[in-house]
Chain A
Amino acid sequence: MKRIDIAARAGRSLRQAKARTLLTSLAIAVGAFTLTLSLAAGEGSRQYADKLIASNVDEQSLFIAKDAALFGEGGSQFGGSGLSEYDPDAATRGNVTFKQLTAADIEAIRAVKGIKEIQPLYQVAIKYIKFEGKDTRYTSEVSTYGAGIVSETLVGSLPGRGEQIADGDIVIPEAYLETLGVKDASSMLGKSVAVTVGRTSSSVTSEQLAQAFASGGVEAAAALAQPEEKQFIYKVRAVTKQSATALASSSSVLIAPSQMKAISEFVTQGTAGFQKYMAATAIVNDGTDPATVKAVLEQKGYPTQTAKDLQSLIFTIVNILQGIVIGFAALALIASVFGIINTQYISVLERTQQIGLMKALGMSGRDIAKLFRYEAAWIGFLGGLIGSLLAFVIGTAVNPWVTEQLSLGEGNSLLIFQLIPIVILIVSLMVIAMVAGYFPSRKAAKLDPIEALRTE
């Protein structure tokens, strides 16, 4: 018997038992529904992560550290005995000790072929920040302006990609305007911003103290020992737009690297942290593959991550979450497999005479088995179709709401449905259903036609 005739008969006999067919396939539909949604959510998250990285990280950039532990790999200092050799270049964060990059390291990296520029990661805590025309002192984070990515501005303008802002410039985020009570963003342009930093005068010697005491008494000595303060003045160059996918610019003011360096060196002068950096960002020459430069750097003993590595890190998290959901869907599918086996066994029992007749008419056992397997495949197809269609309709309907709730921002959506994975899903469900239909179909194939046709 030809496959197409068997498939047509299988389809017709399912239509004749509509309720049973529908109920059996609904069990599969539950699994298909969950799988379709998790596939869509996975795709959505990956695309979102992609955008997130693309709008925050220059793909030509490298992240370089001295200690692999910073990237969560091979961190010898993690969970150690608590007693480890002292390293003057190491920094301690919590219980973890990291080796740091020194100025010499930065120079060594700068010398590597293919590196266009390198910037140490300056970590500065400022005391406060003051805006022109406001008496209030605010706390704020200060970060380095990244030339690799050009953010959208609300007002003002930023230089093109790869170019830095001037030393006297400062860029403030849109979010600050609300706190400052500024309605007209353009009024901020050109206003001066004073960043005040402080350091403890550890460099004061007892000799200097004695001198100050001699000349100015207790007050002069106290003033000398008090934390020194320094003000850096900048002019607002631009206000960056709040962007759902921008990370860095959303909560800190941005200044040029040279200024960051100046502040950092002022703050750390005389301390162990002077010119020591947790990490550095380097930009690779256009046309050079960051991965090749990474290989060179790692050989020299600098653990490095490319933008792609960062991406795969985020993808790993997405994949794990997706894997969990898929695991649950798989459980639902296993349950539905038993449903199919059960239904098909009942169907074989119900149709004993029909099977007997078909065999008497010369239909081979193999074709009979095929008939029942194809029926199972139809059930799988129907279940897959119902499940994925339902997921698509419901997903599309709630997508805008979910996207808003998660504040993913304009143009992003959590669920992204793609045709090919859904088609693959449905085909796999048909295969699974056919495997489930194997045992009942074998029972049908082995039926003795004489027994089956015996009339009572």
Chain B
Amino acid sequence: MIEVKAITKTYGKSKNAFKALDNVSFTIPTGTSVGILGRSGSGKSTLMHAVSGLDKPESGEVIIDGQNILELNQKAVDQFRARTIGFIFQSFFVQPNETVEYNVSLPLEIAEVPTARRTQKIDAALEAVDLSDKKNSKARNLSGGQKQRLAIARAIVNEPSIIFADEPTGNLDSTTGQKIEDLLFDYNRRKGVTLIIVTHDEELARRCDMIINVKDGKIESVKEPAELKV
């Protein structure tokens, strides 16, 4: 479970101060798919950074499975991210000159997974995104959709409990985007992984169990899973 309690994040100082997040609170049950919906500049990305431990809000709490990650030191936060979080980005951020295999291997190396267990995990992740046959290809030779599937494989390889996806279909055509969405929601349902999608695409958000609407650093509305199902 993710509990966000009254987090505030300010950029700049005194006169130029700008509140990117203003007293934001919400709760996400484990295994839920969540759409954080908002226009660019609304603070939705800052929110993702704060919840994933990349950024530190100056006040409030982010409690993940009972642990306030804002209290952890840098090393513990790094370890927390390496073990429990997977990231997917709009621009993929795959390493073009590395092979598919080494791209997927990176989170395992960071989490210090023993070498002997890596191959099996990499194969499973590539199997899940249907890229097994591209294992030894260089990432730059993949198409856009394949690159995003590679990014998904990289996000899921270490079996995280939370996956953050920042505009995962933003750089893809609608057909390919649709496939990526299906892949993500399917994984979310099969593994019971919490999936948090940051997007400005209402259609995509509507596929989630829960929608958090962000505007000007504040939460405009939260549609709970119960409401959505009705």
A residues apposed to B, CB below 8 Å: 1-2, 5, 9, 12-13, 16, 353-354, 356-365, 367, 449-450, 453, 455
Contact = CB atoms under 8 A, between A and B. Distances in A.
24 contacts: A1-B110, A1-B112, A12-B102, A13-B97, A353-B91, A358-B106, A358-B110, A360-B52, A361-B87, A361-B107, A362-B78, A362-B107, A362-B110, A362-B111, A363-B78, A363-B110, A364-B74, A364-B75, A449-B54, A450-B49, A450-B55, A453-B89, A453-B93, A455-B91
Given A1-B109, A5-B109, A361 B82 contact: yes
Report the 3 A-B pairs with minimum CB-CB distance, sorted nearest first.
A362-B82, A362-B81, A16-B97
Given A362-B111, A449-B54, A353 B102 contact: no
A362 B79 contact: yes
B187 interface: no
A362 B82 CA distance: 5
Residue in A357, A359, A360, A450 whose Cβ sees the most chain B Cβ within 10 Å? A360
Contacts of B106: 358, 361
A444 B106 CA distance: 18
Contacts of B87: 357, 360-361
Contacts of B176: none
Interface in B91-124: 91, 93, 95, 97-98, 102, 106-107, 109-112
A241 B45 CA distance: 91
Interface of B: 49, 52, 54-55, 74-75, 78-83, 85, 87, 89-91, 93, 95, 97-98, 102, 106-107, 109-112
Contacts, number: 63
Contacts of A360: 52, 54, 81, 87
A361 B95 contact: no
B54 to A, nearest CB: 6
A2 B112 contact: yes
A242 to B, nearest CB: 64
Residue in A13, A356, A358, A365 whose Cβ sees the most chain B Cβ within 10 Å? A358
Contacts of A364: 74-75, 78
A353 B109 CA distance: 18
Contacts of A359: 78
Given A360-B87, A450-B54, A354 B95 contact: yes
A20 to B, nearest CB: 13
A159 to B, nearest CB: 73
Nearest to A366: B75
Contacts of B91: 353, 455
Contacts of A12: 97-98, 102
B91 to A, nearest CB: 5
Contacts of A2: 109, 112
A320 to B, nearest CB: 49
Contacts of A353: 91, 93
Nearest to B86: A361
B205 to A, nearest CB: 20
Nearest to A449: B54
Given A2-B109, A450-B55, 16 more contacts: A9-B109, A12-B97, A12-B102, A16-B97, A353-B93, A354-B93, A357-B87, A357-B89, A360-B54, A360-B81, A360-B87, A361-B87, A362-B79, A362-B82, A367-B110, A450-B54
Nearest to B98: A12
A449 B85 CA distance: 15
Contact of A455 (B54, B74, B82, B90): B90
Nearest to B107: A361
A56 B83 CA distance: 74
A173 to B, nearest CB: 71
Contacts of B79: 362
A403 B126 CA distance: 63
B118 to A, nearest CB: 10
A16 B98 CA distance: 8
B110 A361 contact: yes
Nearest to A6: B109
A111 B38 CA distance: 107
A363 B77 CA distance: 10
B116 to A, nearest CB: 13
B73 to A, nearest CB: 11
Residue in A9, A356, A365, A453 whose Cβ sees the most chain B Cβ within 10 Å? A453
Nearest to A455: B91
A446 B93 CA distance: 19
A358 B97 CA distance: 15
Contacts of B95: 354, 357
Contacts of B80: 362
A361 B158 CA distance: 11
Contacts of B49: 450
A1 B90 CA distance: 26
Nearest to B53: A362
A360 B45 CA distance: 14
A279 B18 CA distance: 93
Contacts of B98: 12, 16
B100 to A, nearest CB: 14
B87 to A, nearest CB: 6
B225 to A, nearest CB: 28
A354 B103 CA distance: 11
Contacts of B93: 353-354, 356-357, 453
Contacts of B83: 362
A1 B113 CA distance: 9
B188 to A, nearest CB: 20
A364 B82 CA distance: 10
Residue in B80, B89, B106, B109 whose Cβ sees the most chain A Cβ within 10 Å? B109
Contacts of B55: 450
Nearest to B106: A361
A362 B76 CA distance: 9
A28 to B, nearest CB: 24
Nearest to B164: A360
A50 to B, nearest CB: 51
A362 to B, nearest CB: 3
Residue in B49, B78, B89, B91 whose Cβ sees the most chain A Cβ within 10 Å? B78
Residue in A1, A354, A361, A449 whose Cβ sees the most chain B Cβ within 10 Å? A361
